Amino acid sequence: MNVLDKFSLKNNVSIVTGGAMGLGKAMAEALAQAGSNIVIADLNLEEAQKTADEIKRKEGIEAITIGVDVTNETQVNTMVSEVMNHFGKIDAVINNAGITCLEKAEDMAFEDWKRVMNVNVNGVFLVSKAVGNIMIKQQKGSIINISSMSGIIANTPQGQSSYNTSKAGVIMLTKSLAMEWAKYHIRVNTIAPGYMKTELTKPFFEENGDMVKTWMSLTPMGRPGTPDELGGIALYLASEASSFVTGSVFSVDGGYTAM
């Protein structure tokens, strides 16, 4: 097989949680460009539908939307059932839905701590479990969890212990599921982005305040990433090009964690 053929996702079915905007949208677009049908799973159904319509129009694949709260097990199971009823299989899932909370540990309300953990860790587990049960029956599949370089290092100068801890949890969950499910030919990996410029964060970077200057001074490439720069690694992990890769952490951070 030609190596480029291994990147083809023709007739595949891929779910992207939090796929309506930003990083999730960019990764959904990349998988669609390789031929995968796409499920945009998001709380924001209106924006999700816009994204699905745009991808469908540009790439000529099937794209559907499903509203889901990844912290609600019933909704997650319903989402997976809807995908199976519609497509009959699930080849890949990108667990991208997540939240952050920039709050010093000494000031952080416990409810906020629990909310971050619930979305960022429990949400990834619930979706992985539901999809994993399908993939076990299929005897194949790829689960791609979006963690963060913040699960590897502690960011400075901001306080975000809850986010850092949750993303470290995603990394260990990834490794654990990879070990448990390798015998079912399920690959589980994680992408750990660094500071990324999305439509939501663009004004923040353009303001270029002291905190951003600190971030960029600690990033060897001296700039934030852009959403499309996650497309290549997402495609690699969703495709047969990464057939011998599982339990791995792929840092996409401009060199931040190399320092």
What type of residue sits at position 45?
L
What is the spatial distance between Cα 35 and Cα 31, in angstroms, rounded to a whole number?
7
**Catalytic residue at 167?**
yes
Give me the catalytic one of 167, 197, 236, 251.
Answer: 167
Which residue among the candidates 14, 161, 162, 163 is catalytic per the annotation? 163
For residues 244 and 231, what is the distance between their CA atoms, to the nearest angstrom? 20
User: Per the residue annotation, which of 36, 148, 150, 162 is the catalytic one?
Assistant: 148
Active-site residue flag, 148 = yes
Residue 1: burial class (beta carbons within 10 Å; 0-12, 13-18, 19+): exposed
Tell me how far apart the alpha carbons of residues 99 and 118 are, in angstroms, rounded to a whole number: 10
Q: Which residue is it, tokens 């999700």?
A: 48
Q: Can you tell me the distance from the alpha carbon of 193 to that of 213, in angstroms, rounded to the nearest whole number?
A: 18
CB 58 within 8 A of CB 30: no
Q: Three-class SS of residue 247?
A: coil
Please indicate whether residue 236 is annotated as part of the active site: no
63 torsion bin: left (phi>0), alpha (psi -120 to 50), beta (else): beta
- Taking each helix axis from N to C end, the angle separating 73-87 and 123-138, rounded to the nearest 10 degrees, works out to 30
Beta strands in the chain (DSSP E): 13-17, 37-42, 63-67, 92-95, 141-146, 186-193, 249-252
Q: Tell me: cis bond preceding 227? Omega within 30 of 0 counts.
A: no
Distance CA 144, CA 233 (A): 10
- Active site members: 148, 163, 167
